[in-house]
Structure 1
């Protein structure tokens, strides 16, 4: 995750804002295609989180939800506005997820074999040019999307447990059912065999053991000293960008 420049947060806006700003500006400056997945509600749906969400709704004069949690819009609006200013935002994809049969809530459920039998996704694309301009309007826009999610999930769970399909097919035309099935099974077999194969390799090869220990030490030390690989990447970029500006000034 550090190598892929994930944005790690503390869930405290006063601590997270500066790091968010630095990372988003970096993504905009290097003009790399960016896919940023965020959960504005901040956590998963449980009885405890639903109680807190309802308290938030009462405090802010909002309706109470049964199937979703109220989104916290501060981070969402900041990300949208920062990426838009940096001309690095093409669209927002609003994704609603539903589980028609069983909903595992913890790793314990997965260890017991309680995997989801089906997962349904409802996806809607909002191009950047139709998004509201101001922060306040963006907050309202986000809340509207969550109202739609609540209604969509209510219809899903109280009806035939399927989203109403409108628009393109679930599988893109460049793919097929057979290809999707093949990729799924190849991936499953690869990752099932990879872990035991690495254990066997480390057992029989001292070189593999030293390689593993070396990289564990490197990652632990750099995180303790610098805070993470993404901080090193950001610092290197700033250093090189600053040096490039100095050289350009000298050339002028």
Structure 2
């Protein structure tokens, strides 16, 4: 880890980002509340102001992706369609497999200058979340309950209100409805089989009603559907925590422009069209898994400086009172206050270090290494030594935390774990299983109780052995 990467993983940097985001977000939400006075007077002015206020919030997250982590996104598309991006309203259909795919969608909108006005079809509960949810409310996002009888009217009315929206926008839809997981995929494919639909390998079955009503309500206002398929190189599994820690990701985004006139108006035909689209998206993902690239001409839209300028403005405005508060805490001389402050700081620093290890080691596939390597346990003097053995256990083994069966490799990189236990404590295989499963989640320290430390080195792909020596608790 070089010096810059070490700096980016520090808790103080994360604290600054969170403070600036929360403080500026609440200030902007308050300003948005006052803009409601403009709604009955000049609705279009209200919308334009809120587009810019919304940009001040959402661009901070895009700044983390583009400037702090330095992540790259290459767009694979038709050069003839490229000049139209950002110059027209569009419905963006994006796969929902990664933790930061929405952030990549925001980055796409930012690079083409439409981030402030962009829309999304979101769950109604999010409207009550401070900062992001409130921002969405003031920018007229479309909220749904996922109960079609209720959504049929409310979603349609919300979409019709956007027909005279004064700013260009991308309307982002995750037609799968929820993020891809293996369990959800199995259930989704059972539904597909029951409906006589082709199985998908890399996607969930799309939900067609929300897409159909969006197309119908925005026809003649939206010019095209952008079929967007996202993947990451080298089997990267990007996370928000990794972005916050400055981890650089390498994304490939396939974008295909489909004129809205090619999308059927009839709901049943529109549903069949969407199912066919997802079969094509699935074939694209399969090709990417084989070749490591998407078809089309690779292009990199220029990174705009305004996300960084916006964050620097809010940081310069808000950090002075923040550091002044810290100085006053130090000057107060209160032992309890200072001790509390130091405790919180070191707990945060410790958590950030563990998170860095977890984020750095995460991947969709195990990273190289000997899959059968057993971890070794070393203890300091005074603590009874325990070693892994290859003996099988006659007792039934319980599944590991996280749903992994015993003996399944845990995809983590080499990093130390500390096991703390009183001298003479018997270390059970359940305890060790917990420690190793915790390693996959970035946990670096597990405490059984007061006592001496034992150290466990976890290999690139450790397997949980059936038993732990002769003294198994």
TM-score (norm 1): 0.64
Q: Distance in 2 between matches of 1:150 and 1:158?
A: 13
- Within 5 Å, which residues of 2 pair with 1:73-222? 73-84=208-219, 87-101=220-234, 102-104=236-238, 107=240, 113=245, 115=247, 117-159=249-291, 161-166=292-297, 170-171=299-300, 180=302, 183=304, 187=307, 191=311, 194=314, 198-201=318-321, 204=324
1:106-133 alpha-carbon deviations (Å, 9 max, x no partner): 555556x485621111111111222223
Rg (Cα) greater in structure: 2
**CA distance in structure 2 between the aligned counterparts of 1:118 and 1:134, rounded to whole angstroms:** 39
Say how many residue pairs are matched: 189
Three-state SS of the structure 2 residue aligned to 1:36 is: strand
SS at the partner of 2:201?
coil
| Partner Cα distance (2:290, 2:200) in 1 | 15
Structure 1 gaps of 5+ residues are: 173-179, 206-252
The answer to whether the 8 A contact 2:228-2:253 is kept is yes
CA distance in structure 2 between the aligned counterparts of 1:58 and 1:115, rounded to whole angstroms: 40
The unaligned stretches of length 5 or more in structure 2 are 1-135, 326-473
Call closer, same or farther: CA 1:114–1:144 in 2, change over 3 Å: farther
CA apart distance, 1:43: 1.2
Cα pair distance change 1:157/1:138, threshold 3 Å: same
Q: CA deviation at 1:136?
A: 1.4
CA offsets per residue over residues 215-248 of structure 1, 9 Å max, x none? xxxxxxxxxxxxxxxxxxxxxxxxxxxxxxxxxx
Alpha-carbon separation, structure 2, partners of 1:154 and 1:170: 21
Query: In the alignment, is the contact (CA less than 8 A) between 1:98 and 1:119 conserved in 2?
Result: yes
Shift of 1:194: 4.2
- Post-superposition offset of 1:188: 5.0
Q: Specify which structure has the higher proportion of strand.
A: 2
- Measured against aligned partners, the alpha-carbon deviations of 1:84-107 in whole angstroms (never above 9, x if no partner) come to 2xx322111111111122123x55
Find the residue that maps to 2:258 and give its secondary structure.
strand
Q: Judging changes above 3 Å, is the alpha-carbon distance between structure 1 residues 140 and 201 closer, same or farther for their aligned structure 2 residues?
A: same
Q: CA-atom RMSD, angstroms?
A: 2.8
Distance, in Å, in 1 between the alignment partners of 2:174 and 2:322 is 38
What CA distance in whole angstroms lies between the structure 1 residues aligned with 2:255 and 2:271? Answer: 20
